[in-house]
A and B are shown apart, each in its own frame.
Chain A
Amino acid sequence: MFVMMRYIAVLVLLGLMIGGATVAAGEAAPMAADPELEKKVNEIAAELRCLVCQNQTIADSHAELAIDLKNQVREMVRQGKTRDDVVDYMVQRYGDFVRYRPPVKPTTYLLWVGPFLLLAGGLIILTVNLRKRKDLVSESPLSEEEHKKLESILHSENKTSGIKAGEGN
């Protein structure tokens, strides 16, 4: 009975949380009349860096410049400009740095290829190390003579005291 009540309580709480979340989302929705337009604006804004707070996109940032730039994007989209038009417009004014996805060109080759170079380097080091480890393991089994020698060593170890055997390790 008690378990049942707890179960119901959890359900009610969950329901409240989900209900609350939808209410909050409803409040946070952009006030613009055209959600289609707003979606496109946000998509483009998410690709553009805010130059005031450099690790945010202008979609995330609340800096005044970011808001201005977002308005600019909205205006351009309303005029029927494409994503590329808007990005070009921003790059003309703020340089490649404004793009969150840097273009592939000679000055950015290292940026694009770098991670793969590092990965290749890591793989090379790994294979070299694995080879070395393989060499450490002897290929040929022990000969008859070596077996006898080993046997005698083991026997003599057994006869000595435990402490000594421990030291032998």
Chain B
Amino acid sequence: MVRYLAPLIIFIVLAFFLYVGLGLNPREVPSPFINKPAPDFQLQKLHSMNELFSNKDMLGKVWLLNVWASWCVACRQEHPVLVDMARRGEVPLYGLNYKDAPSNAKRWLNEHGDPYELSAVDYQGKVGIDYGVYGVPETFIIDKQGMIRHKVIGPISYQELNDCVMPVVNELNKREQIDPAALAVLSEVRKACSS
């Protein structure tokens, strides 16, 4: 009996691993940035090139940093969601224009609408490397102390926005200080995120 059942059992185990493996998203690499300080940068503003924008300007606020580019196809998919989010005005959205010609970037925003408070120009992609960017678009949620609390890789869907991004933002907005108890709540909230 065992002799005949053994191949079947082995098959079922292998099929189970295959099934689980197919469900994983290889693009989603665990980010080493969660609960780490956002790397410092100082970059030109896309719409007024003689002014600089730094992540430090945002201390005291919960904000989103969205990495985008005019050449990025998936950004188009995400864009209406960002425009809607900006219209609701619940959380300030800043852009990091990654490896893009400023003229192209401006034209793209004119065409599709500009949801950003401002976009910072990372023409050489150096800040992108500091933020571990490997698949545009990426979105970082940064808290009042300037710590990265979540990172979305790839385009944000409405579902992702409502089930993941906004709950994390709301949780962060509620608190002045992120203590271990808050971290536990946050990691609980983030469970809705991996879609």
- For chains A and B in complex, what number of residue pairs have CB atoms within 8 angstroms? 32
B125 contacts A68, CB within 8 Å?
yes
- For the complex formed, measure the closest distance between the CB of A113 and the CB atoms of chain B, giving whole angstroms: 17
Residues of B within 8 A of A96 (CB): 32
A94 proximal to B (CB < 8 A):
yes
In the complex, A96→B99 CA distance in Å?
25
Q: Is the CB of A51 closer than 8 A to any CB of chain B?
A: yes
The answer, yes or no, to whether A155 is at the interface (CB within 8 Å) is: no
Nearest Cβ on chain A to B89's Cβ, whole angstroms: 32
Chain B positions 19-46 with a Cβ under 8 Å from a chain A Cβ = 26, 29-32
Residues of A within 8 A of B134 (CB): 51-52, 65, 94
Closest to B39 in A: A93
Q: Which of A52, A95, A97 contacts B135 (CB 8 A)?
A: A52
Q: How far is the CB of B163 from chain A (nearest CB, A)?
A: 24
A70-100 CB contact bits vs B (8 Å, 1 = yes)? 0010000000000000000001111111000
Contacts of B31 in A (CB 8 A): 95
Is A22 an interface position by the 8 A CB rule? no
Given contacts A51-B134, A52-B134, A54-B26, contact A94 B32 (CB under 8 A): yes
Q: Is residue B108 within 8 Å, beta carbon to beta carbon, of the partner chain?
A: no
Is there a chain B Cβ closer than 8 Å to A69's Cβ?
yes
B29 in contact with A95 (CB, 8 Å) = yes
Number of interface residues of B (CB under 8 A): 13
Is A95 a contact of B99 with CB atoms below 8 Å? no
Q: Does B53 sit within 8 A of A, measured CB to CB?
A: no
**Structural contact, B32 and A64, CB atoms closer than 8 A:** no
List B contacts of A64 (CB < 8 A): 99
* B60 CB within 8 Å of chain A: no
B129 in contact (CB, < 8 A) = yes
- Nearest-CB residue, chain B, relative to A95: B32
User: Cβ of B30: which chain A residues have Cβ within 8 Å of it?
Assistant: 95, 97
The proximity string for A residues 33-61 relative to B, scoring 1 for CB distances below 8 Å and 0 otherwise, is 00000000000000000011010000000
Chain B contacts with A in 105-142, Cβ cutoff 8 A: 125, 129-132, 134-135
Complex: A94 Cα to B31 Cα, angstroms: 7
From A54, A72, A95, A97, contact of B129 by CB (8 A): A72
Q: Chain A contacts of B135 at CB under 8 A?
A: 51-52
Chain B proximity of A63: nearest CB distance (Å) = 9
B26 and A93 contact, CB distance less than 8 A:
no
B175 CB to closest chain A CB (Å) equals 27
A-B contacts, 6 listed (Cβ < 8 Å)? A51-B135, A54-B26, A65-B134, A72-B129, A93-B129, A95-B31
